[in-house]
Amino acid sequence: MHLVVCVKQVPDATEVKVDPVKGTLVRQGVPSIANPYDMHALEMALQLKDEHGAKITVLSMGPPQATDVIKRSISIGADDGRLLCDVAFAGSDTLATSYILSQAIKEIEKTDPVDIVFAGKMAIDGDTAQVGPGIATRLGYSLVTYCLGIDGIDTGRSVIKARRQLEGGCEVVEADLPVLITVVKEANEVRYASLPDLIKSIRSDVTVWNKEFFELDIPQCGLKGSPTQVKKIFPPPPKDVTPEIMNTGETGLDEIANTVAEAVSKAGIL
Amino acid sequence: MKKSVWIFIEQTDGKFNDVSWELLGKGRELATALDAELCGVLLGHKVIEMAEEPVYYGADKVFVIDDPLLEYYRTQPYAHGLVALVKEYKPEVFLMGATYLGRDLSGAVATHLKTGLTADCTVLNIDEETKLLHQTRPAFGGNIMATIYCASARPQMATVRPRVMSMPDRDASRKGQIIEAKLGLKETDISTRRVEFVCDPSTSFRIEDAQVIVAGGRGIGDGANFKLLKELADVLGGVVGASRAAVDAGWLDWSHQVGQTGHTVRPRLYISAGISGAIQHQVGMEGSDMIIAINKDPDASIFKIADYGIVGDALEIVPALTEAFRKMKGESG
Amino acid sequence: MKERFDVIVVGAGPAGLAAAYTTAKAGLKTIIFERGEFPGSKNMFGGVLFAHSLSEMFPDFWEEAPLERALVEERYWLLSEDSATTFSFKTKSFGQPPYNGFSVLRAKFDRWFAGKAVEAGALLVNETLVEKLIQKDGKTIGVQTGREDGDVYGDVVIVAEGVNSLLTKELGIHEEWRGNEVGVGVKELISLPKETIQERFNLEGNEGIAMRILGTTRGMTGGAFLYTNKASVSIGVACMVEDVSNECVCPNDLIDDLKNHPMVKPLIAGGSTKEYSAHMIPEAGFRSIPELVHDGLMIVGDAAMLTILITGEGANLAVTSGRLAGEAAVKAKENGDFSANGLSSYKEAMDESYVIKDLKQFKDFAGYFHSNRDILNLYPSLLNGIVKQVIATDGLPRSEKIERAKAMLKEKKSYWQLMKEAWHGWRSIR
Ligand SMILES: Cc1cc2nc3c(=O)[nH]c(=O)nc-3n(C[C@H](O)[C@H](O)[C@H](O)COP(=O)(O)OP(=O)(O)OC[C@H]3O[C@@H](n4cnc5c(N)ncnc54)[C@H](O)[C@@H]3O)c2cc1C
Ligand SMILES: Cc1cc2nc3c(=O)[nH]c(=O)nc-3n(C[C@H](O)[C@H](O)[C@H](O)COP(=O)(O)OP(=O)(O)OC[C@H]3O[C@@H](n4cnc5c(N)ncnc54)[C@H](O)[C@@H]3O)c2cc1C
Ligand SMILES: Nc1ncnc2c1ncn2[C@@H]1O[C@H](COP(=O)(O)O)[C@@H](O)[C@H]1O
């Protein structure tokens, strides 16, 4: 079996700030991490590998430092990695990103056909959850989103049985291979690398593919290939910070309760 | 052809998702600004008899595909049906709810159509000059907002979380046009099948998704007292949250913890009771739209970030609030 | 694990990184373990890096290191409830090379420093906790990490794990630090626009200020600080652990006291808290320094209690000690002798350096504060009262004012007591 896992490097969401004057993102010094959902996707792939034997290729598109997330993936058991890195890819929105990733997967398939592509449910820097369905659509794969676990693979019939997390319950589905699976955090606990594996990954060389390495229609990449454009970025409007304080020592309980209930209803929350 | 604004009408097992009506409400504003008609798109099996409902919430037209293959949601046939309709009728704007279903479907549809899609918008409006849809959404975990537009590709697609837009009134006297279309697929064209659906609301408790949170801290005094908070939360259609102190005391489990080492939430309404407002707690909830704080200590730091502060005993105030909200809901039906 | 290293460094703070950089640059096979996600991710400090120690390793480091502001002013505040008496020194020359010190944010700075060590050839292993030193015949021969197959052997281990040094405690090199040997510091990072900082603190361009504040610790041994960064200020309080636990105050309350003090409040008004952190500080100084060199083992930085309370120095001592330990390891490698004797050049170099000399100089200082509680309890408010009395222009003749001021003083302290305390204070730093 050949499994591909899409792993994105994202800034640690809690530390991104906006320059209030320029309205740009202050990303200097903000640590980058592997998108947490993607690590759960990798773990799901690793469990398949443990059980059935498989080769795992990790795929990431991003700046040169994104080799870190590939190394991290290799440290816990991925076999190989590709970083897609080119100035032509910069500024890609989800449509362009899914295009570039799916073209790379097609290239990988030429030598080593793919059975399952894994992605995270979403990337925490954009929270869009669009790239996974996008790749599946472009490759014509089946799609299983919000996957909680894989219950079985029938290689004879070429189908997979999986559980999906949905509002209010869990759906069990069967999907034909090849399939793209997006994974939620609840699916598993991500494993921890042994020291020799970790050190081996720190020293490993990551294969970097620029736009020359696979077939691409450049106008579909990067800023040019992105139909959505960011008009502006701004900090959330500051709170009106004059709290209205009421004291049960001074005002009756009912009056306070009614004031609050009215305020909530006026704000259109109910 | 007149321009149109489309809303995906989400239904599961014949039950509509309210977000569809919220989007019709918003869609009406956008349609007016664009001088366009507002259309609902309804897919499913045995849904044709329900097709008037979107009209009551403002749709001028409802496109319907009723097919046994659409009995439960699957990406492929739903996307196939929608893409064909869009290609034929060419809407300007196409909105869906940012639900599990909507996020799955919108990504596939936008890719087929090679158009832009903006997820989880909180503000939508038409730019007066360019007549483009301006889509504003939080980014990077809610620390910043971004306004996004899609200049050339069509339709301009966006998803919106439930309860972000307000609910329009239902008007059963409205009339609209129902347009039926064919799916044109066979079961063998579809590569996924449902085996079963196991109902289990408890497995998917995600405090991050709640629009109303009633959170309690050490000041609640006792785990048993949390039932007071639960009652208030139930009246408001919300869930119960907790400070770390309350979780450490074993009153609630970690899935309820709000804060630095818990969950970051930004509900529309956050009511805190008996929580001091330590910074580690604040960072997890300060993005809430409205904060009501209850604490018997007038100097508690939670009051600094609250919209409304109530100084007094939470065990008295919470039931009083429950009563007031219950009364209010009773009055408005 | 089979692979061996010449040098194993535990902890990628300033001390460990200086050591690893030095040994790797000299061609020694160096591995450095950091338990955090990356160097700096778990670290905090008040925020001043004095430049001299680092410039010995990287002469023009300010051209590339991520620094916040060059500190041109040191301001001391003695606070009473509503007043401040200020001592300050400011010079533009500190705003130019070779600079005196910079405000620094550790998450960025430690990462940069780690990059230097890696460039020099050190192998940096993050997210890996060293749990134990491996001993054989009384000699340290490696470390045990929390990962599977995680034992690593080497010629020398440099312990740079910071103040909470469990590894050396376990070996019995020192005891558990007592409450009067360590302090606890809490800090908030409050973001403010650049221009606001410049205006409020009377700064130009990239200049910054370091403020040290006495009188807001409810009489406990300790002090507060406020340092300006590019677009934020670091504000915090540090107190002796023993006092904090005796008085049952929560460090959070101390920082709230400080932020709400009428003198401090306007400086941070309108800012929003971006980070909150707490950390221990070695405070006992010279008397608690453990033996620095053992067979196959050296101790550097906070792990060796190398901080000077009065001047707020720690990171620079960490860097210097790390570098000297690194140099000793290089020498030991040349001689093929990693015994305590073979490594002794570290201790000798330390004794010769400002680190040990300064620590010796201030050896009684913390104890002095601790045993003369009035200094922090009484003097700031007394001083402010007296100065106010003298400065207020209220129609009283000045001679009368001075008499009254004297009386105020006498009411609290006899001259004899004052002289005695002053004498002890002087003794403690000379
Ligand atoms: C590294 C770190 C991470 C942390 N992460 C988190 C986190 O994720 N989430 C979190 O919440 N905390 C976190 N904390 C803990 C945090 O600092 C506080 O200790 C905690 O939030 C306090 O919880 P509390 O407000 O419920 O309790 P307390 O601080 O004890 O406050 C109780 C409050 O209830 C009030 N009160 C008492 N009785 C009544 C009554 N009858 N009616 C009304 N009010 C009453 C009191 O006046 C008081 O203000 C973290 C701490 C650290 C150090
Ligand atoms: C509130 C406060 C304010 C301060 N202000 C200043 C100031 O303004 N100027 C100044 O010069 N100094 C200041 N200091 C002191 C300064 O922070 C320290 O002296 C300095 O950081 C010591 O460096 P270090 O490398 O020895 O230790 P640390 O910086 O503590 O680094 C130790 C590293 O080791 C890692 N580690 C620990 N144990 C293990 C293990 N078992 N395995 C793997 N890794 C481990 C830690 O994660 C950490 O990265 C302040 C300290 C505090 C607490
Ligand atoms: N640049 C990228 N490189 C690799 N994988 C990506 C990239 N962007 C998105 N993905 C994958 O697509 C998933 C969903 O991303 P998003 O649609 O951005 O929320 C992520 O969890 C990743 O698995």
- Residues C119 and C31 grouped into a single domain: yes
Query: What's the CATH code, domain A2-220?
Result: 3.40.50.620
Minimal Cα distance from C188: which residue of B?
B279
Helix (H) or strand (E) holding C3: none
A18 CA to centre of ligand 3 in angstroms: 23
pLDDT of A40 higher than 90: yes
Beta strands in A124-249 (DSSP E): 142-154, 159-166, 169-176, 179-183, 207-209, 228-234, 244-247
Q: Is residue C96 part of a domain?
A: no
Nearest CA distance, C201 vs chain B (angstrom): 25
- What's the CA gap between C10 and B303, in Å, rounded? 44
Domain boundary among B189, B218, B243: B189
Please state the pTM of the whole predicted model. 0.79
For residues A50-74, average pLDDT: 96
- Residues B164 and B260 grouped into a single domain: no
Q: Who among C2, C41, C125 is closest to A198 (CB)?
A: C125
Buried-exposed string C121-146: b where 16+ CB fall within 10 A, e elsewhere: bbbbbbbbebeebbbeeeebbbbebe
- What's the CA gap between C92 and C413, in Å, rounded? 40
- What's the CA gap between C76 and C73, in Å, rounded? 10
- Residues B33 and B86 grouped into a single domain: yes
- What's the CA gap between A212 and A257, in Å, rounded? 67
Residue type at position B5: V
H helical segments located in B35-156: 53-56, 75-89, 100-113
- Residues C211 and C303 grouped into a single domain: no
Residue type at position A147: C
Q: How far is CA B141 from the centre of its chain?
A: 17
CB pairs under 8 A between A and C: 48
B278 CA to centre of ligand 1 in angstroms: 6
Residues C297, C298, C302, C308, CA torsion sign? positive
- Residues B208 and B181 grouped into a single domain: no
Give the 3-state secondary structure of residue C281: strand
The pLDDT tens digits of the residues spanning C64-117 come to 999 999 999 999 999 998 999 999 999 999 999 999 999 999 989 999 999 999
A84-88, A122-126, B51-55, C382-386, range with the lowest pLDDT:
A122-126
A204 and C125 Cβ atoms separated by less than 8 Å: no
- Residues C8 and C153 grouped into a single domain: yes
From the alpha carbon of B218, which atom of ligand 1 is closest? 26
- What's the CA gap between C315 and C246, in Å, rounded? 29
Domains: count for chain B: 2
In Å, the largest CA–CA distance within chain B is 67
- Residues B23 and B85 grouped into a single domain: yes
Domain boundary among C282, C301, C336: C282
- What's the CA gap between A65 and A62, in Å, rounded? 8
- Residues B19 and B162 grouped into a single domain: yes
Domain that holds residue B87: 4-189
Question: In terms of DSSP bridges, do strands A32-34 and A9-11 run parallel, antiparallel, or are they unpaired?
Answer: antiparallel
- Residues B160 and B262 grouped into a single domain: no
- Two structure tokens written together for A121: 């449910």
B258 and B243 Cβ atoms separated by less than 8 Å: yes
Q: Who among C1, C41, C193 is closest to A195 (CB)?
A: C1
Residue that is written with structure tokens 């221009």 in the block: C195
A84-98, B166-180, C123-137, C163-177, range with the lowest pLDDT:
C163-177
> Closest Cα partner for A125 from A222, A25, A20?
A25
Q: Please tell me the predicted confidence (pLDDT) of residue B204.
A: 59
- What's the CA gap between B318 and B300, in Å, rounded? 18
Q: Is residue B194 part of a domain?
A: no
- What's the CA gap between A101 and A118, in Å, rounded? 12
Question: In terms of DSSP bridges, do strands B133-139 and B144-150 run parallel, antiparallel, or are they unpaired?
Answer: antiparallel
Tell me which chains share at least 3 CB pairs under 8 Å with chain C. A, B
pLDDT of B104 higher than 80: yes
Burial grade of A67 (CB within 10 A; 0-12, 13-18, 19 or more): buried
Residue that is written with structure tokens 């991520």 in the block: C66
Q: Who among B145, B203, B320 is closest to A234 (CB)?
A: B145
The protein residue whose alpha carbon is closest to atom 34 in ligand 2 is C11
- Residues B170 and B299 grouped into a single domain: no
Quote ipTM for the complex. 0.77
> Closest Cα partner for B149 from B113, B120, B114, B125?
B125
pLDDT of A27 higher than 60: no
- What's the CA gap between B273 and A260, in Å, rounded? 14
- Residues B15 and B155 grouped into a single domain: yes
- Residues C262 and C315 grouped into a single domain: no
- Residues C170 and C44 grouped into a single domain: yes
- If you count them, how many residues does chain A have? 270
Interface test with B, best of A226, A250, A260, A266 (most B CBs within 10 A): A260
- If you count them, how many residues does chain B have? 333
- Residues C112 and C32 grouped into a single domain: yes
- Report the mean per-residue pLDDT for chain B: 92
> Closest Cα partner for C178 from C161, C192, C200, C163?
C163
Q: Is residue C248 part of a domain?
A: yes
Instruction: Please give the order of strands across the beta sheet that includes B239-242.
Output: A244-247, B308-311, B290-295, B269-273, B212-216, B239-242
CB atoms within 10 A of CB C414: 11
Domain boundary among B189, B222, B239: B189
Is residue C164 within 8 angstroms of chain A, CB to CB? no
Domain that holds residue C416: 367-428
Residue B55's alpha-carbon distances to B17, B21, B179, B266, in angstroms, are 15, 10, 12, 32
pLDDT of B91 higher than 60: yes
Q: Is residue C91 part of a domain?
A: no
Question: In terms of DSSP bridges, do strands C139-145 and C151-159 run parallel, antiparallel, or are they unpaired?
Answer: antiparallel
From the alpha carbon of B107, which atom of ligand 3 is closest? 17
- Residues B65 and B169 grouped into a single domain: yes
Helix (H) or strand (E) holding A124: none
CB atoms within 10 A of CB B333: 4
Q: Please tell me the predicted confidence (pLDDT) of residue C401.
A: 84
CB contact under 8 A, B75 and A128: no
Domain boundary among B157, B189, B221: B189
- Residues C301 and C169 grouped into a single domain: yes
Burial grade of C224 (CB within 10 A; 0-12, 13-18, 19 or more): buried
Q: What are phi and psi of C28, to 5 degrees?
A: -80, 140
Helix A36-52 vs helix A67-75: angle between axes, to the nearest 10 degrees? 40
The protein residue whose alpha carbon is closest to atom 17 in ligand 1 is B278
- Report the mean per-residue pLDDT for chain A: 90
B53 and B176 Cβ atoms separated by less than 8 Å: no
A101-115, B295-309, C99-113, C131-145, range with the lowest pLDDT:
B295-309
- What's the CA gap between A140 and A154, in Å, rounded? 20
Mutation pick for ligand 1 pocket among C248, C249, C250, C252 (CB with most ligand atoms within 8 Å)? C252
CB atoms within 10 A of CB C192: 20
A185 and A38 Cβ atoms separated by less than 8 Å: no
Q: Is residue C421 part of a domain?
A: yes
- What's the CA gap between A84 and A107, in Å, rounded? 12
Does the beta carbon of B218 sit less than 6 angstroms from any atom of ligand 1? Answer: yes
Residues 6+ apart with CB under 8 A from B212: A269, B233, B236, B237, B238, B239, B267, B268, B269, B270, B271
Helix (H) or strand (E) holding C170: helix C166-170
Q: Is residue C48 part of a domain?
A: yes
Q: Please tell me the predicted confidence (pLDDT) of residue C60.
A: 94
- What's the CA gap between C306 and C346, in Å, rounded? 14
- What's the CA gap between C172 and C118, in Å, rounded? 32
Q: Is residue B127 part of a domain?
A: yes
Mutation pick for ligand 3 pocket among A35, A58, A221 (CB with most ligand atoms within 8 Å)? A35
B108 and A136 Cβ atoms separated by less than 8 Å: yes
Residue ranges in chain C modelled with pLDDT below 50: none
Q: What are phi and psi of C185, to 5 degrees?
A: -115, 140
The partner residues of A18 in beta bridges, in order of sequence, read: A25
Q: Please tell me the predicted confidence (pLDDT) of residue C426.
A: 76
Domain boundary among C239, C256, C282: C282
For residues B59-76, average pLDDT: 97
Burial grade of A133 (CB within 10 A; 0-12, 13-18, 19 or more): buried
Is residue B301 within 8 angstroms of chain C, CB to CB? yes
Q: What are phi and psi of B217, to 5 degrees?
A: -125, -160
Q: Is residue C59 part of a domain?
A: yes
pLDDT of B203 higher than 60: no
Q: Output the domain CATH number for residue C302.
A: 3.50.50.60
- Residues C253 and C325 grouped into a single domain: no
Q: Is residue B197 part of a domain?
A: no
Residue C80's alpha-carbon distances to C252, C258, C262, C266, C380, in angstroms, are 20, 12, 10, 16, 6
The pLDDT tens digits of the residues spanning C206-224 come to 999 999 999 888 888 889 9
Residues 6+ apart with CB under 8 A from A190: A39, A40, A42, A43, A76
Q: Is residue B195 part of a domain?
A: no
Residues of chain A positioned with their CB less than 8 A from the CB of C1: 195-196, 199
- What's the CA gap between C12 and C33, in Å, rounded? 7
The partner residues of C159 in beta bridges, in order of sequence, read: C10, C299
Q: Please tell me the predicted confidence (pLDDT) of residue A183.
A: 97
The protein residue whose alpha carbon is closest to atom 1 in ligand 2 is C185
Q: Please tell me the predicted confidence (pLDDT) of residue C95.
A: 95
Q: Percent of chain A scored above 70 by pLDDT?
A: 90
CB contact under 8 A, A17 and C1: no
C359 and C306 Cβ atoms separated by less than 8 Å: yes
Q: Please tell me the predicted confidence (pLDDT) of residue B200.
A: 75
Domains: count for chain C: 3
- Residues C164 and C191 grouped into a single domain: no
Residues C83, C236, C249, C422, CA torsion sign? negative
- Residues B210 and B183 grouped into a single domain: no
Q: Is residue B129 part of a domain?
A: yes
Residue B217's alpha-carbon distances to A159, B245, C196, C249, in angstroms, are 49, 6, 36, 20
Q: Output the domain CATH number for residue B279.
A: 3.40.50.1220
Question: In terms of DSSP bridges, do strands A55-61 and C4-10 run parallel, antiparallel, or are they unpaired?
Answer: unpaired
CB contact under 8 A, A199 and C37: no
pLDDT of A238 higher than 90: no
Range list for CATH 3.40.50.620 in chain A: 2-220
- Two structure tokens written together for B304: 């600094």
Q: How far is CA A6 from the centre of its chain?
A: 8
- Residues C203 and C278 grouped into a single domain: yes
